[in-house]
Structure 1
Amino acid sequence: MALASRGFAQEENAAAFSLPDLGFKFDALAPHIDARTMEIHHGKHHAGYVAKLNAAIAGNAALEGKSLQDLVSALPAVADEGLRTALRNNGGGHWNHSAFWEMLAPEGEGGKLEGDLEAAIKSAFGSVDDFQKSFADAAGSRFGSGWAWLIVQDKKLKVVSTPNQDNPLMKGIVHDSDLGTPILGIDVWEHAYYLNYQNRRADYVGAFWKVVNWKEASRRFAAA
């Protein structure tokens, strides 16, 4: 899968991972996602995953220099349970958030759902409204913290959810094989929405559609 473009792909071969730029200002998604949430989410939570991931792989010749995607998609090969958990949580957190920022855009700047992706969504779910309901159900029914994803699996679109910082690429962890290629995802950890929406996760998910980067989703769909 081709990775996103705002510094995500460029860091794949770096000796240590780094926090990517958002690509927009903290307040650019307001009022749908507020500036303070974005500042804390990116600068504290995501940065924390990056720091802990770098600490986990430091000095490990077998892991240093591996791409982020290689780390999260080959977790069962890591024999040390504590290290595997650190990579799962923090490598997953870094991958998920790096992708999430790419999947967001200020209202009006992310393009429209159209073309091949729109046709595929209608084919898979019956209508765009039915897709959004399925996606919202996956996000709303995820107990505790986690993610909802639109994925391509065997050239078909599906909606799935994963707990904590797991993602569909985690072969042998989330599923016996990887679930598929994520092309759209939403973070439903409380840190993603609680300052503005409190316990109203459904309102946050509804607002998400105002800031989806459909250009990026279409790019990922084409690559998958």
Structure 2
Amino acid sequence: MTYELPTLNYRYDALKPHIDRLTMEIHHTRHHQTYINNLNEAVAAADIPDMPVERLIADIDALPESSRTAVRHNGGGHTNHSLFWQVLTPDSTAPEGELAAAIDRELGGLQAFREAFSTTAKGRFGSGWAWLGVDKQGRLCLESSANQDNPLMGDFAALSGATPILGLDVWEHAYYLAYQNRRPDYIEAFFEIIDWREVARRYHQASAGGHPGDSLALGRAQDC
């Protein structure tokens, strides 16, 4: 399998003023493409069987030891960015249906989620990501990861194994041209361009067969 750069569903300038055109173009065509190039080299060198990149990083322990670091960094980078582009939209949306009910029930409502997610994103020291995920019991949860690690990596990266449904890139290259060192302003802007329809689709897929809300304290954001 040769991994390829996904096509965006919007123009590079479509997310203005929240994310500028040049940042989007550099982020997509250079940063993301570099992860893909390096991942393809690593997979070819280790003769790894064809599989979706999400499965590749979830089963990273099964890979040859010599390829794990390269797959961790570059497979994680490809997976993370592929999700990130898909949960952005120039059109204003809001959580609805099952997802909205789960946010109310399990995270204390949209405002409480927003505050907790912002705290998670601000609290990630250095480069990394903030995540809203569905844990193995089908419940919504929050966590952050360093560098290009992804919750699917589980114990290998000291993470939960939850399925991410929303992710925010807090590497400086994601926001520095417009926001400089003002990460909190970038995080606030992110909430204006979330495609909650896509997040809901991912929630439905990830929680199928689970039991959202079981044994979860109400009104409080739950860490993964």
Whichever residue aligns with residue 187 of structure 1, its letter is D
Partner of 1:22: 8
Q: 1:79 Cα deviation (Å)? A: 3.7
1:69 Cα offset (Å): 1.5
The equivalent of 2:108 in structure 1 is 126
Structure 2, unaligned stretches of length 5 or more? 207-224
Residues 74 and 171 in structure 1, CA contact (< 8 A), matched pair in contact too: no
Q: For 1:104-183, list aligned pairs within 5 A.
A: 104-108=88-92, 111-153=93-135, 154-175=137-158, 178-183=160-165
- Is 1:80 the counterpart of 2:65 in the alignment? yes
- Is the 8 Å Cα contact of residues 72 and 170 (structure 1) preserved in structure 2? yes
Give the distance between the partners of 1:51 and 1:64, measured in 2 at CA. Answer: 17
How many residues are treated as equivalent by the alignment? Answer: 205
- Name the counterpart of 1:6: none
State the partner residue of 2:210.
none
How far did 1:59 drift?
4.3
| Aligned amino acid, residue 22 of structure 2 | R
The match for 1:47 is 33
Q: Which runs of 5+ in 1 are unaligned?
A: 1-14
AA paired with 1:72? I
Counterpart of 1:90 in structure 2 is 74
Measure how far apart 1:53 and its partner are: 0.4
2:46/2:64 contact within 8 Å kept: no
2:186 is matched by which residue type in structure 1? Answer: Y
Q: Does the CA contact (< 8 Å) of 1:103 and 1:217 recur in 2? A: yes
Q: Could you say what secondary structure the match of 2:166 adopts?
A: strand
Q: 4+ runs of 1 displaced by more than 2 Å?
A: 78-81
Q: Determine the structure 1 residue equivalent to 2:17.
A: 31
- Secondary structure of the structure 2 residue equivalent to 1:171: helix
Percent identity between matched residues is 48
TM-score if structure 1 supplies the norm length?
Answer: 0.88
Residue 116 of structure 1 and its aligned partner are, at CA, apart by 1.1
The answer to whether 1:208 aligns with 2:190 is: yes
Distance in 2 (alpha carbons) for counterparts of 1:79 and 1:60: 7
* TM superposition score normalised by structure 2: 0.88
Which amino acid letter does the alignment assign opposite residue 62 of structure 2?
A: A
Verify the 8 A CA contact 1:58 1:64 in the aligned structure 2: no
Contact 2:154 2:162 in 1 (8 A): no
- 8 Å CA contact 1:75, 1:171 repeated in 2: no
**d(CA) in 1 for partners of 2:49 and 2:204?**
31
- Report the CA distance between 1:57 and its aligned residue: 1.1
Distance 2:184 2:161 in 1: 25
Q: Report SS of the residue matched to 2:156.
A: coil
Distance, in Å, in 2 between the alignment partners of 1:139 and 1:59 is: 35
Moved more, 211-220 or 164-173: 164-173
